[in-house]
Structure 1
């Protein structure tokens, strides 16, 4: 081997040694302290509301050296997840290079936990002061929930057939068709009647039902589409659903009717004391209070009569007396006032009254004669009608006899 060949060989050998040294340095550098955390499992995988679960963490050595001064801790927890043990785990040193350490945290969701993803923030630290390492990890916990679905299952009214002026009891059966619990259920009616517009139901379990009660006065006749708003809370928070119901109000003015009117005497004369009686009937399904009748007449005497309370299908008299001090034909306005659960109401009507003039005996005699003539005319008409009937019967009888005689001949 000549000198040149020796130099070339030595140069190649030195290059190989240098390259081998470089690789060794890199391997030592890559094989330094290394530790990692792995979220192994969340059990059960589907976490419900107000349920317990566990989170398993595995600490694994990813380097060539044994890690020291290891601290693993949970640094941020969602408000609706509770950890039931210490948040910090301290490990002075792994036993050997390929060691692993298993951590398991017991947790539970709160009763008001909101469904959806929840992030748990964790931190891993290890090493000495001159080689201190900090790593962060996230564990995602999916909280599952159920939707509630409160709906109207039936509609009932009392009375069944609603008339204008009726006081109505409305019952809405609310049933939960969903899988979650409906909490703080409130039902509102968007109507223009006088009365109650909201009803608190409370909580409804799955398949549960409650009755929302309302009371109102059907002020006007017609067909009405009434929005029904149901507000509630379920696992996903506050909810609001809207439905419609239809009510038909029939045309009838009020619950009070004038059953009869009596004037005593029937044909009063000028100067007579008259007793006027009007019977007021409650034809509705509810009691009516403070029934008062006012007669707007021009005579001296009483003008108002107080009846009081009338129960369903009950009637009462409104009686006044006055002196008919002037003859003539009168149309007396009458105002009937009453009160119910929704305030005071009025009904107006009229009464016709004839007051005769005081006259001489001849005039009275003429009136009596006229009355007698009318009565006589009625008697005569009845007499003629009777004779006519008798004649028809006689003719029929005679006709039947002649018919038989003809047959004999």
Structure 2
């Protein structure tokens, strides 16, 4: 099924071109998911309240009066402002939900039922819809809990793992579970679309931040559920690998990784201490972990003889994973230097955005529309909804 026509369609040619997404989400998890869908060609109609997405005003930083937070996750979308308390606007929302291939929302569980925009109500008017609900803690016992990423970082256990061993817990530098939940939502939506292609049936996709957190804590949650071990903060150290952390050199820190015994042998040779690789205290991963406090000063002593940049070259030439600790600016510059072209300019007014990380050889992501102003496309969307469904063609 395709749901677009010339009244409200971009020039997208990606793998999802022709699909319409009714985006009733705001802030981060939902908007990130819908931007990824839009980059791949979907026509995303961003439904905002009269005051707009909260992140428009999350400043500083700011560009041309708009928060860069909003700009980060809203390109390739069209905005329509709807007050769901207004009967006429609510009717527009109903019509949009009836015409969309995909609807995504991150209201509290049950929050859209009074507007007739919950899954059951939308399915009654659009039986093939893929309807994605994003929440903080699921639709059962956690339905009333507000879904803020910081809360989930704390309540999931992530903060108990982040920070110095003898210091306070810290949040991650980004809203990590919002982003990961957005990614999981896209995976669920694409899986549901494939099933619909085979059967014609829509379905309800549900994701939540806490389940995402527990899944993406991977080895840490497995340490507890499979091993009975409650992990704790270790600073930059790794629970199961050493070295796998920043180590001091002659003039600063360098991240040094030896993920297996072969890499450790190459590391020992590269730093001029080949005997460490055959030392019975250090010759296996488990022994290096058990004796890391004995091994660390030996590595630091060897690394102190040269600068971080010198060791970066030496260890890289030896085929070892290592790297400096950059600022965000340094990370962007590194990607530029490596030919990854991390920044793409969008729109006539040129809004710099970060490139979609997915590379497709035949149907690559495209960058058609800058993040929209509030209700910038309201008239276009309303005009499209007024056309007969028979006119719908991708």
Q: With the length of structure 1 as denominator, give the TM-score of the two structures.
A: 0.17
Q: Structure 2 length normalisation: TM-score? A: 0.18
Per chain length, whose mean CA-contact separation is higher, i.e. which structure has more relative contact order (CA < 8 Å, sep 6+)? 2
Which structure has more strand as a fraction of its residues? 1
**Higher-helix-fraction structure:** 2
Structure with greater Cα Rg: 1
